[in-house]
Chain A
Amino acid sequence: MSEPGMAPLTEPFYDGLGRGELLIQHCKACDRTIMYPRHRCPFCYEADLDWVTSAGRGVLHSFTVQRLGAPSGFEADTPYALGVVKLAENVQLLGRLWPDAGGGWDSYACDAEVEFHPAGQDEISRRPVAWFRLGSPSS
């Protein structure tokens, strides 16, 4: 499934999503977190990299709801929401957003607290993406 040579980066990340975990690449040489996974650390350029599990808490930098003009293969998914999430681990990524209690995304706003909430294994096999929902203040 992965392009040649990419499996060491993609498979641990995708497998993590399938288990319901959001993994962040980590540089053992300089102890920095890295997202998305790289071939070498973009801070110290060493290749001694492993993974840490994200606590899944972050802030929504921006988001959009795709309604019309989806790319080929995504037409049946519309409407669906995408967001850029800044995680507490000092990395950020683009992910999908779960609909809110109203079935849409009206409760979402820039700078809202969000939390990682995994999609099922079937969905991750189809589309390996991190999913987030609005964070519950009590949890």
Chain B
Amino acid sequence: MTTAATADEAAFVGIGELPSGRYPDRAFMGGLVDVAVAAVRDAGLAMTDIDTILLIPCLHSGADQADLVFSRVVEELGLNGRAKSNVMFHSGGSTSDNTVRSAISLINSGHAHNVLILQAEKWGSAPLIEMIDMLTANGIPREWEKASGLSFNAVGALIQRRYMAASGSTPQDMASVCVALREWARLNPNAMYKDKTLSVEQVLGSRMVSDPLHAFECPMMADGAVGLVLTSAREASKAQDAWVRVAGSGGCVSHYSIGQEADLAVLGWPTAAAPAYEQAGWGPGDADIAEVYDSYAAVLTIALEGLGLAPAGEAGRMFAAGDFSPGGTLPVNTNGGLLSAGHTGVGGGTALLAEAVRQLLGRAGPDRQIPDAQRAVCGGSGGTYMDSQVLLLERVTK
């Protein structure tokens, strides 16, 4: 059953974002407050209109994570006594998708009027080995896989090797994914690598980390912060000419341990995508843009194929042909993605979601705004790519 737009349904109306990269002097809580204010102003609302805060977890610090859970943001924003609820969801990189599902349900049901989603991460400033060990210790069965020496890059490598074998994609094809994302990042003033060009030769000339992944094919940990505001379509129409609705959603948790994934070149995407398109009443051919989790090249190509945005096995070659680059047939990860805008932990998916909303609102700026963008396919994944989450977004005008 498809869903038609209604006055009660949830609408994205505002975005705030800080540049991604290494900002050791930028305070965690200060970043959250900055994007909160920016998003609420962008929405045309007052901070006191916000009644519900949904938080995206941070991974860099247990103390900062505890501050989020214990409602410090409410107090920092002066919403003591006004906020109904301050709560966090967590599914790793797909958290933003699950948080949006919660936000729209709260608004559609009348439990919330104006929801502020907030995310901040300081991965880029945190000690690298501590973050590698933290990632290595989590999402891997301690009793059965940890003793193998599995690293997070090795998880990406196992997926990329299988994808290359199944699709016949070459190292050049896979490197071209990173190059395409860099071309998008060059158009995004908030991207970590906005000032650095990248070529296929540079990628393949960088050191081998975990075969077949070269150093420049591994994501760089970054600091970042994003805020998003949702309200009802009724409220949105008072202050805005256009807003963004969620037309369809679907998900699939396909494994916990990487050793138990039935097909590393498929994951959960086909299962997640089918009900989302059915609910939306449109298909992959109707999408104007795609913003899909991309912590490694094959994580993105597999998702694009499972989402029906590329024929099976062809996404890598389509990247090499420039189909998903600026000027190509389908703009993909127009902010530069995790690989070139920066891997902000759980926030990488949040940044892609924010970019989809920004494009559909027509607020992406002169360099990278996709003309007349009406429909976006958003895909998120988390942990060891244990889940595949799909949100289909549509622009709505008054």
Contact = CB atoms under 8 A, between A and B. Distances in A.
A64 B161 contact: yes
Contact of B158 (A62, A68, A70, A74): A62
B149 A66 contact: yes
Contact of A67 (B144, B166, B208, B264): B208
A21 B215 CA distance: 37
A74 B261 CA distance: 24
A9 B260 CA distance: 17
Given A36-B141, A94-B257, A82 B149 contact: yes
A84 B265 CA distance: 13
B75 interface: no
Nearest to B159: A62
Contacts of A3: 142-143
Interface string B149-167: 1110110011101100110
Contacts of A93: 144, 259
A128 B147 contact: yes
Contacts of B259: 36, 84, 92-94
Given A10-B143, A110-B162, A129 B148 contact: yes
Q: How large is the interface on A (under 10, 10 to 19, 20 to 34, 35 or more residues)?
A: 35 or more
B195 interface: no
Q: How large is the interface on B (under 10, 10 to 19, 20 to 34, 35 or more residues)?
A: 35 or more
B210 interface: yes
A51 B196 CA distance: 55
Given A64-B210, A84-B158, A71 B151 contact: yes
A80 B143 CA distance: 19
A66 B143 contact: no
B204 interface: no
Given A84-B264, A110-B162, A111-B165, A69 B132 contact: yes
Nearest to A14: B143
Interface string A30-46: 00000111000000000
A71 B144 CA distance: 16
Contacts of A61: 162, 264
Interface of A: 2-3, 6, 9-10, 35-37, 61-72, 74, 77, 80, 82-84, 92-96, 105, 109-111, 127-129
Given A36-B257, A72-B132, A96-B148, 13 more contacts: A62-B158, A66-B149, A68-B215, A71-B132, A71-B133, A72-B136, A74-B151, A82-B154, A94-B258, A94-B259, A105-B211, A127-B147, A129-B147
